[in-house]
Amino acid sequence: MKKKIINLADKIIKLLTIRPHLRDNDRRLICNIWWDSVPNPKTLTFEDFTNLYIKGRIPESDSITRCRRKVQEEIKELRGEVWEKRHDLEKTVREEIKELGATI
């Protein structure tokens, strides 16, 4: 299982390096990972894709996004343009949640 996770991280690092536009777009990143994960993607039917997905031969979207977040946390150069804004907003949201908790 660990080998699959490491392999996914390697794929994500490679894609975020060569295709910077994927750094801020999880849907595009997921599609790219899936495209690279299937044999002959241009001839693959939806039924073939779903069978591969159900059998676990294609990474789940949650795993891809979780791994992308971890990679961007650890490798600053692979962060997207929105990363800093999102993390600055996190501080504000945490403060607002604390205030709400105090009034509930």
Mind listing the pLDDT tens digit for each residue in 73-86?
999 999 988 877 77
CB contact set of 12 (below 8 Å; sequence gap of 6+): 29, 33, 64, 67, 68, 71
What is the pTM assigned to this prediction?
0.77
* Structural tokens at position 76: 């600053």
User: Is 103 domain-assigned?
Assistant: no
User: Is 93 domain-assigned?
Assistant: no
User: Is 104 domain-assigned?
Assistant: no
Report pLDDT for 3: 62
User: Is 75 domain-assigned?
Assistant: yes
- Gyration radius (Cα) of the chain, Å: 17
Mean pLDDT of 94-104: 75
> Domain residues for 18?
2-79
What is the distance between the alpha carbons of residues 55 and 51, in angstroms, rounded to a whole number? 6
pLDDT in tens, 18-36: 999 999 999 999 999 999 9
